[in-house]
């Protein structure tokens, strides 16, 4: 009931006042295969008596099915022909509502029907949908008839996950305020009008104050990956040129200057086919930070600096605007890696592994 109230509150704020006088949420029998289904003003949830606080069950599915009342019910998208405009928008909706109302959930796994919650592992909103997208991004395009997808995995990833990631990236690219105005205008303008992708494109371009087809087409009509990376970072003592320069031969030795200048370079690469403008943050040992911007069109871009300090770290897309990036481990470089987190998790996993061995040896002995 609390999840229904939160869904009603935030959806009314973000997408338009809920226009009906009733909401009916049915909690079906466990394992009845009737949970997670939506109809206008009526939907089913799905509780489990062992659910624990801190995991998005049953709140997540409750919010999701309520949200269909907007993008399947009120907006009335054709979910057979434009599934991403229904399931994708609703997946974005349920994540936004859940994280606003409840905060970050915890990682959990189910063993022998019993959910185990790992309260040391908080799941950020950026993780929502990325796993399925990473595995299936090159199977199909999002704009597809539901019966034309390669398989159910491709349908689910494109219609739900990829669309959610695209909307979250769009929100971060446009800015929260512009996106909020856009998504609410799109929703209310198209109640009971069965909008198509071109209608969504038009509203996005209007509020972004530019033609956004260059952005949307890559996600809606494309099946390429988005992957920007820090390729290489170097900081070397500045040297005099080696060879004949201005009529004299130079040895190319280090500069004997009290400034002790360093010649530093940051190589940023585009490893995927999706092209978007990205920011690059360069941090130096003395605490200086430089923010660069690259249009991301070419395969690589090199930034060069001559400063009396070395580079400490470099990050591409530091604000994580493009959450569709399929490989997030290559987005940053740290000159001196911090290994404490790796040591901590290695120790925890070894302890868990030891407990597992002791548990099975109890039966095996």
- In this structure, what token pair is assigned to residue 302? 């090199």
- Count the neighbouring beta carbons within 10 Å of the beta carbon of residue 85: 27
State the architecture of 228-337 in CATH terms: Sandwich (2.60)
Distance CA 134, CA 341 (A): 24
- Asked whether the predicted pLDDT for residue 162 surpasses 70, the reply is yes
Which CA distances in Å does 172 have to 165, 234, 319, 321?
Answer: 11, 30, 9, 5
Peptide bond connecting 58 to the previous residue in cis, omega within 30 degrees of 0: yes
- Count the neighbouring beta carbons within 10 Å of the beta carbon of residue 237: 13
What's the maximum distance between 2 C-alpha atoms anywhere in the chain? Answer: 89
Question: Given this model, what pLDDT does residue 253 score?
Answer: 60
Q: Does residue 161 contact residue 49 with C-beta atoms inside 8 Å?
A: no
Q: What is the pTM of this model?
A: 0.88
Give per-residue pLDDT as tens, 165-221.
Answer: 999 999 999 999 999 999 999 999 999 999 999 999 999 999 999 999 999 999 999
In the chain, % of residues over pLDDT 90 = 75
Q: Does residue 119 contact residue 54 with C-beta atoms inside 8 Å?
A: yes
- Count the neighbouring beta carbons within 10 Å of the beta carbon of residue 240: 12
Question: Given this model, what pLDDT does residue 112 score?
Answer: 84
Please list the alpha-helical segments (H only) found in the chain: 2-15, 59-68, 87-102, 130-136, 152-156, 163-174, 176-189, 197-208, 213-220, 340-364
- Asked whether the predicted pLDDT for residue 256 surpasses 70, the reply is no
- Asked whether the predicted pLDDT for residue 57 surpasses 80, the reply is yes
Q: How far, rounded to the nearest angstrom, does the alpha carbon of residue 144 sit from its chain's CA centroid?
A: 22
Q: Where are the domains of the chain?
A: 2-220, 228-337
- Asked whether the predicted pLDDT for residue 297 surpasses 70, the reply is yes
Which CA distances in Å does 42 have to 4, 85, 213, 328, 335?
Answer: 11, 20, 35, 39, 55
Helix 176-189 and helix 2-15, axial crossing angle in degrees, nearest 10: 90
| Per-chain mean pLDDT for the chain | 92
Residue range 109-127: average pLDDT?
Answer: 89
- Asked whether the predicted pLDDT for residue 258 surpasses 60, the reply is no
Min mean pLDDT across 26-40, 134-148, 237-251, 340-354 is at: 237-251
Residue range 24-32: average pLDDT?
Answer: 91
Bridge partners of residue 254, in order along the sequence: 239
Residues whose CB is less than 8 angstroms from the CB of residue 202 and which lie 6 or more positions away in sequence, other chains included:
none
Which one is the CATH code of 2-220: 3.30.70.1150, 1.10.10.10, 1.10.390.10, 3.40.50.300? Answer: 1.10.390.10
Distance CA 94, CA 100 (A): 10
- Asked whether the predicted pLDDT for residue 123 surpasses 90, the reply is yes
- Asked whether the predicted pLDDT for residue 250 surpasses 90, the reply is no
Give per-residue pLDDT as tens, 319-364.
Answer: 999 999 999 999 999 988 778 878 887 888 898 888 888 888 877 6
3-state secondary structure at position 316: strand
Question: Given this model, what pLDDT does residue 240 score?
Answer: 65
Residue range 18-39: average pLDDT?
Answer: 92
């Amino acid at each position: 009931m609390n999840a229904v109230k939160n869904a009603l509150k935030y959806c009314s704020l973000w997408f338009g006042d809920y226009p009906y006088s009733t909401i009916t949420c049915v909690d079906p029998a466990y394992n009845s295969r009737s949970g997670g289904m939506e109809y206008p003003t009526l939907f089913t949830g799905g509780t489990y008596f062992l659910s624990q606080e801190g995991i998005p069950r049953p709140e997540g599915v409750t919010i999701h099915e309520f949200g269909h009342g907007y993008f399947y019910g009120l907006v009335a998208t054709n979910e057979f022909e434009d599934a991403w405009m229904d399931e994708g928008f609703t997946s974005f909706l349920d994540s936004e509502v859940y994280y606003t109302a409840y905060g970050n959930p915890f990682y959990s796994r189910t063993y022998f029907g019993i959910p185990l919650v790992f309260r040391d592992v908080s799941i950020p909103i950026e993780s929502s949908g990325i796993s399925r997208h990473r595995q299936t991004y090159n199977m199909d395009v999002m704009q597809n008839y539901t019966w034309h997808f390669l398989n159910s995995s491709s349908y689910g990833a494109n219609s739900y996950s990829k669309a959610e990631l695209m909307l979250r990236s769009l929100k971060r690219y446009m800015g929260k305020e512009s996106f909020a105005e856009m998504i609410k205008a799109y929703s209310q303008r198209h109640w009971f009008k069965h909008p198509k992708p071109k209608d969504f494109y038009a509203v996005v371009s209007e509020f972004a104050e530019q033609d956004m087809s260059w952005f949307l087409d890559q996600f809606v009509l494309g099946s390429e990956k988005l992957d920007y990376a820090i390729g290489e970072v170097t900081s070397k003592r500045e040297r005099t040129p080696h060879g004949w320069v201005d009529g004299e031969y130079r040895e190319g030795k280090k500069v004997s200057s009290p400034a002790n200048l360093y010649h530093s370079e940051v190589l940023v690469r585009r490893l995927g086919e999706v092209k978007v403008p990205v920011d690059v943050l360069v941090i130096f040992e003395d605490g200086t930070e430089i923010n660069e911007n690259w249009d991301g069109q070419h395969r690589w871009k090199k930034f060069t600096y001559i400063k009396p300090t070395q580079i400490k770290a470099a990050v591409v897309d530091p604000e994580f605007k493009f959450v569709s990036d399929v490989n997030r481990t290559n987005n940053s470089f740290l000159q001196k890696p911090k290994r404490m987190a790796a040591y901590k998790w290695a120790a925890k996993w070894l302890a868990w592994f030891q407990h597992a061995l002791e548990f099975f040896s109890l039966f095996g002995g």
